[in-house]
Structure 1
Amino acid sequence: MNRKKRIIVGMSGASGAPYALSVLEELLRQGHYVHLMVTEAAWRVLQEEHDWEIQKRERLFQERMGHLPGELVFHPLRDIGASIASGSFPVDAMVVVPCSMATMARIALGISSNLLERSADVMIKERRQLVVVPRETPLSSIHLENMLKLTNNGVMILPAMPGFYSRPETIEDMVRFVAGKILDQIGVEHQLYKRWKEEEL
């Protein structure tokens, strides 16, 4: 069984809320500690993609995931005095999923206008693992330059690109593939997708 990790998950306003929910559910199912932030635009995405009644805010996550054995700590986006805003607070990794181009740009420029961006800035300055999952197409040269800047600062850029060698049969299969790739990067074992030549492992 995995060592219990402390993971930060930030959801921003790009399409792709299913990826974030799949990552959250797997982390909590395994008993990890998750610190969650959701931007205003991400709440809108949850409404559009999952029909969530966003007036309930964090209660929605508790209703959906409160039965899982992990611990979910919800942080208001404006709480810049939260534990995860400080480099002295130990964290194993952070994932921004999905990551909008606006959020990526601010992280790349070191602009901390909210707790999500500040937490990402802390991960970079402390040389801790930060995984950014962009969901945009096509990409402009500005987007690509920001990705390169982040990569050069040790950030893992993991685009939401499902593979098809595992013969996915449902949308959920494709979502689980991307979620699994995210978990691979932060060292969390899982069985969300079938690996290439898995029988030879």
Structure 2
Amino acid sequence: MKPLVVAVTGASAMPLAERALQLLLKKGFSINLILSKGAYEVFLSENNLKVPLEPITQRNFWEERLKINAKNLNCYRWSDHSANIASGSFKTLGMIVIPCSMGTLGRIAAGFSNNLIERTADVHLKERRPLILVPRESPLSLIHLKNMTNVSEAGAIICPPVPAWYTSPKNLEEMIDFIVIRIFDLLGEDLAPLKRWSAPNK
């Protein structure tokens, strides 16, 4: 199985990133994880969670927190421009930015690679590999919408984390699972059982 790049930026939706990471590792995916500088700050402010910066320590941190074997997890600093995932010769299944801040989305749309996340996203676009951006912002300005249009025309998929009510979710965890599983449907990967839409009986 080709590796998958998962990037987490400083938008407000860290439970989505954590659950995605947990389900992917449970399925045995090889994950290359990048947290932006802002993501560390949001984890701390929203969840009182201090994620380690050092890659090996961070991998052990996620293994303990998510209660799952993390042998297939590689963590990178956002400033590590020499990482293998920054090269088009490093083949991947695709890349997902979850959540994706509007600053990150705008820089990807402009082809401006200021950190490892943006460089790796640029690589996926130029190599015509799947790139899924999960923007978490509301309301959207015209600039946001134009950036989404530009990056979509370049080949990315924009997938806002919108829950569904037809599944009759009983709690927040079920809503999170629905969003995460539907996002990875876009890669053709079924992470877990999901109550899917079926037309009502007539």
Same topology, TM > 0.5: yes
Say whether residues 1:12 and 2:13 are aligned partners: no
State the shift of 1:56 in Å.
6.3
- For 1:71 and 1:78, the matched residues in 2 are separated by 22
Give % identity. Answer: 39
Q: Alignment partner of 1:123: what SS?
A: helix
Unmatched 5+ residue regions in structure 2? none
Structure 2 residue aligned with 1:87: 88
State the shift of 1:55 in Å.
5.0
Report if aligned partners of 2:53, 2:77 keep a CA contact under 8 Å in 1.
no
Say whether residues 1:46 and 2:43 are aligned partners: yes
Unmatched 5+ residue regions in structure 1? none
**TM-score, normalised with respect to structure 2:** 0.91
- For 1:5 and 1:163, the matched residues in 2 are separated by 30
Q: Alignment partner of 1:54: what SS?
A: coil
Deviation sequence 1:47-103 (CA, Å, 0-9, x none):
233221235662432322463366100011111010100000011110000000000
State the shift of 1:8 in Å.
0.2
Report if aligned partners of 1:31, 1:68 keep a CA contact under 8 Å in 2.
no
State the shift of 1:45 in Å.
1.5
Say whether residues 1:32 and 2:29 are aligned partners: yes
State the shift of 1:5 in Å.
3.7
Letter in 1 for 2:138: T
Between 19-28 and 59-68, the greater mean CA deviation after superposition: 59-68
Say whether residues 1:103 and 2:110 are aligned partners: no
Q: Alignment partner of 1:9: what SS?
A: strand
**TM-score, normalised with respect to structure 1:** 0.91
**Following superposition of structure 1 onto structure 2, how do residues 45-194 of structure 1 map, counting pairs within 5 Å?**
45-54=42-51, 58=58, 59-65=60-66, 67-68=68-69, 71-194=72-195
- For 2:176 and 2:159, the matched residues in 1 are separated by 14
- For 1:15 and 1:38, the matched residues in 2 are separated by 13
- The list of structure 1 runs, each at least 4 consecutive aligned residues, that deviate by more than 4 angstroms after superposition, is none
Q: How many residues align?
A: 197
